[in-house]
Amino acid sequence: MMNETCKSEEETALPLTSLNHISLICRSLDESLDFYQNVLGFLPIRRPGSFDFDGAWLFNYGIGIHLLQSEHPESIPMKGEINPKDNHISFQCESLALVEKKLNEMGISYVQRTVEEGGIFVEQIFFHDPDGFMIEICNCENLPVIPLPAGELVAGACKRVGCLNQQQQQVAQCLSPAVHVTEQESHISCA
């Protein structure tokens, strides 16, 4: 039976079910199509013919990517530096060594990072698509999803402003009773 806290949260949050797609504006639709198909393995899917602008839809891994041809491609800023703290989308993989080998073969520049949390290691590889949008490939599934203990501020964990104590308590109460969070467990740092 759902408690009042969970019901209250459901009534205030939007009734979402999943992430459907991300939409990216590109300098060259052809270059972006080539990248998302041949580097990331997305497949083209049917796009509504009633659209009056150039674009393409792709799908794989349970997510869609909608590419939109920019009306002013010269206005899209070029990004040179690979900054893991930039906006990005992240994909899980089975072998980071194979990803790294393939990126080297394709001549794609990347930055590699390792995050350690409580003896758990997460390997990350970051690179850009043709328009400078950041892509991350990782083994992030190694990190368990653990709600923060009641009273622990998200701001302290992630350097964000604001107290989310009430939401943290609601998350803890809404999770299965089998999930037990103790003060000894450390939080996962945000990247």
SS3 116: strand
CA 162 to chain centre: 22
**Quick check: is 10 catalytic?**
no
From 11, 74, 117, 136, active-site residue: 136
Expressed in percent and rounded to 5, the helix, strand and coil fractions of the chain are: 25, 25, 50
CA gap 146, 77 in Å, rounded: 38
Among 4, 6, 35, smallest CA distance to 135 is for 35
Q: Which residues contact 141 (CB under 8 A, 6 or more apart)?
A: 92
- The closest of 75, 90, 85, 76 to 130, measured between CA atoms, is 76
Active-site residue set? 136
